[in-house]
Amino acid sequence: MMSSVEFLNVRNNAAKAESDLLQAKYDLIFRIKVLDFYLGKPLAF
């Protein structure tokens, strides 16, 4: 059985992983938009 401290650590790690994934997705979109801008493509959101 898992202690409450271990459970909280697992839950916090999962939340951090989800946050990191979301940040990476937005970072990718931003970098693609910057490349599009420098390639002369119109910016569309």
Tokens of 35: 């490349």
User: Tens digit of pLDDT for each residue in 23-39?
Assistant: 999 999 999 999 999 99
pLDDT of residue 44: 81
Under DSSP, the state recorded for 7 is H
Report if residue 36 sits inside a domain: yes
What SS3 class is residue 23?
A: helix
User: In angstroms, rounded to a whole number, what is the distance separating the alpha carbons of residues 37 and 22?
Assistant: 23
3-state secondary structure at position 41: coil
pTM, two decimals, is 0.75
Question: Considering its fold, how many domains does the chain have in total?
Answer: 1
Asked if the structure places residue 45 within a domain, the reply is: no
